[in-house]
Amino acid sequence: MKIYNIFGVILNIIFWAGVFSINCYDCNSDTGNCNEGECEGKLCVRTETASLDTNRKIVIKTCSNDDEPTECYQIPFGSQFISRCICDYPLCNGDKDSLLDMENHAILPYYFSVKKFFPFIIFILTYYISILF
């Protein structure tokens, strides 16, 4: 009985550690897109800076360990605008046809994200396994 409880605790630690990090694209591009390199963090971030004068777009993709809401927003800055999207599932900061696609993913309620349900599921499974054995 104690072995199953210890096994359950170890499983919980392993799964909880993995739940709090996801893989994201990690790259910079002045051609408007990139899906290279990867980093690990709590959230994925995609920032685009576009100039209306030069028709140039710079894309920066990276990871974040900050506690930020999953959302997309735009900031006008003279003849430029900056779009920033924050999302919480693996490789969600990849290239899309437009940031609107990414916004649709970010609109999902935060409590429906997989990384929020996964620890609960593991906890329940571990609890019932320890009771059954």
Helices (H), the chain: 2-19, 99-106, 114-132
Q: Which residue has the higher pLDDT, 1 or 68?
A: 68
Say if residues 60 and 28 touch (Cβ distance below 8 Å): yes
Neighbours of 24 (CB within 10 A): 28
Please tell me whether residue 75 adopts helix, strand or coil conformation: strand
Say if residues 42 and 33 touch (Cβ distance below 8 Å): no
* pTM for this model (two decimals): 0.60
Per-residue confidence (pLDDT) for residue 15, from 0 to 100: 55
Per-residue confidence (pLDDT) for residue 95, from 0 to 100: 82
- Domains of the chain, CATH where assigned: 2-132 (2.10.60.10)
Q: Does residue 22 have a pLDDT over 70?
A: yes
Say if residues 73 and 103 touch (Cβ distance below 8 Å): no
Q: Does residue 132 have a pLDDT over 70?
A: no
State how far the Cα of 46 lies from the Cα of 63, in Å rounded to an integer: 9
- For 66-120, how does the pLDDT look when each residue is reduced to its tens digit (9 = 90+)? 999 999 999 888 888 899 999 999 999 998 744 433 444 433 333 344 455 556 5
Per-residue confidence (pLDDT) for residue 55, from 0 to 100: 80
Q: Which among 66, 69, 63, 65 is positioned nearest to 109, based on CA atoms? A: 69
* 55-59: average pLDDT: 87
Reported as a pLDDT band with limits 50, 70 and 90, residue 39 is very high
